[in-house]
Amino acid sequence: MIHDLESVAGRDVVLGLSGGVDSAVAALMLRQAGARVQALHMTNWEDDDVYCTAAEDLQDARRVCDRLDIPLHHVNFSAEYRDRVFEYFLDEYRAGRTPNPDVLCNREIKFGVFREYAKRLGGERLATGHYARIATIDGKPALLKGKDAGKDQSYFLHAVAADALAETVFPLGNLDKSEVRRIARDYGLEVYDKKDSTGICFIGERPFREFLSAYLPAQPGTILGVDGTELGSHSGLMYYTLGQRQGLGIGGRNDAGGEPWYVVGKDIDNNVLLVDQGETEALMSQALVATDPHWIGGVPSGLEEGLRLMTKIRYRQSDQPCTVKRAETGIRVEFDAPQRAVTPGQFAVFYAGQQCLGGAVIHKTESRSAIMRAPEGAGIAAAR
């Protein structure tokens, strides 16, 4: 059974209202479905700089609430965000991994402290403008992909607790983004053409290296090719991610061909950035090991023997067939086809058809390439 808008009629619903078009249309749809709606706008980042849009977003949220005659509450969760999300974000970069703070932000803030606050406001249901759906399957809450495959956000929601999902409704789950903008325009919501938010969750889009350097000082080191040749220097391993092409500063070498260079690994112990040219096998992985798995409906049966599922190792990736099996340190995922730039710190998220079963943090990969024969002292085998 899908949790649709009919389930909110006559209920008190607290909606997370960002000031963007998605949550604005979610508010409209809740009102039209007969819910008693209150809007809650969160401020989770307080730096006053040219990249921060918090004040503008709050004003947009107020205009939406005025138009829909919905009460608006404003709450500041910046301390909780720093403690529960941003510190993790920095710790992961210090360790040489590439985190995805949006996943943690959903679990800890939007469906954590926000949910608790919504209950204090009398909310029986929580709502957001996410493109996803919730159903009840075998008596348990289940997370489903949104109808709009290009906007589906189940990847970012896979770590949300089942009991939180049971109390949530996603009004946009059965809509395409184009429909959402049309509804907003037709109803006279001024944010109908507002640009989608991008960048780091609640922090926004800004020059990433400049932003990160304010918290993690530069730690220069050596750039090595996969054959151990010294090619240049880097400014800090935390500024690079697997598969990265731009910003390496080693192009146009007389002793190399014209193909682009890519980051293929990090040797944390020796502060070495590892690179290779072209569509290198060094970026291809046949399997990965992931830790801290979260299964929305409980551990699926068949995991001990090996379970056939689909997975995404990054947002917007098409589903990839794989076999998932329990491992000593978590779970092992073996792909049917090798995957490019599988990145420690990111999430592998698992699907059975339209249902998102959960996910886990990518810890390390198993490469099909001879790159794993590390040059003396380079530590490549430990870098992936």
We report the CATH number of the domain holding residue 294 as 2.40.30.10
Residue 95 in domain: yes
Catalytic residue flag (residue 201): yes
Interhelix angle 177-187/21-32, nearest 10 degrees: 70
Same domain flag for 104 and 181? yes
Structure tokens at 305: 């023997």
Please tell me the distance from the alpha carbon of residue 349 to that of residue 362, in angstroms, as a whole number: 10
Three-class SS state of 84:
helix
Per the DSSP assignment, residues forming a β-bridge with 261 are 277
Q: Give just the sign of the alpha carbon dihedral 364, 368, 371, 376.
A: positive
pLDDT, averaged per 10 consecutive residues of the chain (384 residues), comes to 78 96 97 97 74 78 96 95 93 91 94 96 96 94 96 97 96 96 96 80 66 88 94 92 90 70 94 93 95 95 95 95 94 97 96 98 79 37 42
How far are the Cα atoms of 118, 245, 278, 280 from residue 259, in angstroms, in the given order? 54, 11, 5, 10
Domain boundary among 193, 210, 235: 193
Please tell me the distance from the alpha carbon of residue 225 to that of residue 278, in angstroms, as a whole number: 12
Same domain flag for 9 and 137? yes
Q: Which range of residues forms the domain containing residue 302?
A: 284-368
pLDDT in tens, 280-311: 999 999 999 999 999 999 999 999 999 999 99
Same domain flag for 31 and 156? yes
Same domain flag for 47 and 182? yes
Please tell me the distance from the alpha carbon of residue 239 to that of residue 98, in angstroms, as a whole number: 9
State the pLDDT at residue 376: 34
Of 327, 335, 352, 7, nearest to 158 (Cα)?
352
Residue 168 in domain: yes
Same domain flag for 118 and 93? yes
Q: Residue 258 CB: number of other CB atoms within 10 A?
A: 9
| Total structural domains within the chain | 3
Which listed residue (52, 65, 105, 356) is catalytic?
Answer: 105
Residue 204 in domain: no
Residue 170 in domain: yes
State the CATH number of the domain containing residue 233: 2.30.30.280
Please tell me the distance from the alpha carbon of residue 67 to that of residue 80, in angstroms, as a whole number: 31
Give every strand in the sheet of 12-16, ordered side by side.
72-76, 36-43, 12-16, 125-127, 168-169
Structure tokens at 97: 């991994």
Structure tokens at 5: 């808008």
Of 281, 291, 271, 336, nearest to 310 (Cα)?
336
205 phi/psi in degrees, rounded to 5: -95, 125
State the pLDDT at residue 370: 39
Radius of gyration of the chain (CA): 22
Same domain flag for 188 and 225? no
**Structural contact between residues 376 and 367, judged by C-beta atoms closer than 8 angstroms:** no
Catalytic residue flag (residue 105): yes
Please tell me the distance from the alpha carbon of residue 230 to that of residue 224, in angstroms, as a whole number: 5
State the pLDDT at residue 49: 56
pLDDT in tens, 231-271: 999 999 999 999 999 889 886 665 666 789 999 999 999 99
Same domain flag for 80 and 186? yes
Which listed residue (52, 65, 201, 356) is catalytic?
Answer: 201
Same domain flag for 150 and 224? no
Residue 373 in domain: no
Domain boundary among 280, 298, 322: 280
State the pLDDT at residue 373: 34
State the pLDDT at residue 199: 57
State the pLDDT at residue 200: 62
